[in-house]
Amino acid sequence: MNLLQQTARTIIRKSFHLSVWTIEQFYDIAIYEQKARQLQTLPEGTLGRDIGDCLAKNDLHLVPNYESHDLKHVLLDFEMTAVDEIRMQAFMLGNGNYSLPSFAIFIFGALLLPDLWTTFYKDYINGRNAKPISTWTIEEYAHCQTTTLREIVFNYKPSVQHKIDSRSLAKLGAFTAITLGIFGMVFCLPFLFSVHLEDLVGAGFGFLGAAMIAGAGLIALSNLVKQNKQSFEKVITS
């Protein structure tokens, strides 16, 4: 591993630690630490016990409102490392978890780790072929055997082949535009404070373009939400 690759992994790791630390400032962490200890009291081999042991081994605890994140790490057998975090997001995107955090984390990691693009693609394909788990929670599956759950997930045989309809494609494009737009604005922001006119002009146009891309994504996403709401109302009134 060369210096650039080591630096990229360090940036990702520190970014994740900062994100988790920021989230923790708004919650009573003692509650989540107690919950993690309770998981360790479950029988060996259960998903809950494996999650608790994994957190203890890595000196971590459950992140408020992101408890299912640790479930996926253990269930899918991805380690608590910077690389495996991005790999898991690639898997979950293939698994149908089209959320803004997943897109943001994956794009951030993929840009910094181009040497692993082939691995990320394989993880994405594995996610497409696996049973959807984006809605799984610790409360629901903590007492189930981890090995049994893995067999269910990875030996999944969908009765209908995956199809990407126009609405799913539009949603994917909207999230991608929002994520890329935000990253573009963040990248250009420091140059807006430069004393050099060239930097100001270049960054200004770049920031404006990125803002337009993010805005277009938000508009598209809001239209999709509005369409879903209208469709739901039609079903209710019919």
Encode pLDDT of 32-85 as tens digits: 999 999 999 999 999 999 999 999 999 988 988 888 999 999 999 999 998 999
Percent of the chain with pLDDT over 70: 89
Same domain, 130 and 178: no
Residues 38 and 137 in one domain: yes
Range of the domain at 17: 3-93+100-154
Whether 176 is in a domain gets the answer yes
CA distance linking residue 109 with residue 117, whole number of Å? 10
For residues 52, 53, 58, 59, the Cα torsion angle rounded to the nearest 10 degrees is 60
User: Each residue of 183-201: pLDDT tens digit?
Assistant: 788 888 888 888 888 778 8
Where among 112, 127, 154 does a domain terminate? Answer: 154
Residue 88's nearest CA partner among 45, 145, 133, 141 is: 133
Residue 154 is given by DSSP the state H
pLDDT-based confidence at residue 236 (cuts at 50, 70, 90): very low
Domain check: are 198 and 124 in the same one? no
Pair 133, 126: CB distance under 8 Å: no
* Statement to judge: residues 20 and 112 lie in one domain: yes
CA distance linking residue 128 with residue 175, whole number of Å: 18
How many angstroms separate the CA atoms of 223 and 125, rounded? 29
Same domain for 77 and 49: yes
Q: Is residue 160, in this structure, part of any structural domain at all?
A: no
The mean-pLDDT minimum among 206-210, 212-216, 233-237 falls in 233-237
| pLDDT value of position 202 | 84
Maximum CA pair distance of the chain? 65
Pick the last residue of a domain from 108, 124, 154.
Answer: 154
**What CA–CA distance (Å, rounded) separates 83 from 87?**
6
Instruction: State which amino acid sits at residue 56.
Output: A
Q: Are residues 19 and 122 in the same domain?
A: yes
Domain assignment present for 238: no
Same domain, 186 and 136: no
- Residues 135, 186: one domain? no
Q: Is residue 182 part of a domain?
A: yes
Query: Which phi and psi angles does 211 have, rounded to 5°?
Result: -65, -40
pLDDT at residue 207 tops 60: yes
- What confidence tens digit (pLDDT) does each residue in 101-155 have? 888 888 888 888 889 999 999 999 999 999 999 999 999 999 999 999 999 999 9
Residue type, 127: G
State how many domains the chain has. 2
Are 147 and 171 within one domain? no
pLDDT above 90 coverage of the chain, percent: 41
Beta-bridge partner residues of 145:
46
Q: Give the closest residue to 184 by CA, choosing from 150, 209, 157, 149.
A: 209
Closest CA relative to residue 69, chosen from 53, 80, 58: 80
Among 109, 129, 154, residue at a domain's last position: 154
Residue 179's pLDDT is 77
Same domain, 177 and 121: no
Quote the pLDDT of residue 232. Answer: 44
Identify whether residues 148 and 80 lie together within a single domain.
yes
Query: What is residue 149's predicted lDDT score, i.e. its pLDDT?
Result: 97
Q: Name, in order, each residue with C-beta under 8 angstroms of 103's C-beta and a sequence gap of 6 or more.
A: 93, 175, 176, 178, 179
Determine, yes or no, domain membership for 211: yes
Domain identity same for 118 and 229: no
* 195 DSSP 8-state letter: S
CA atoms within 13 A on the CB side of 129: 9
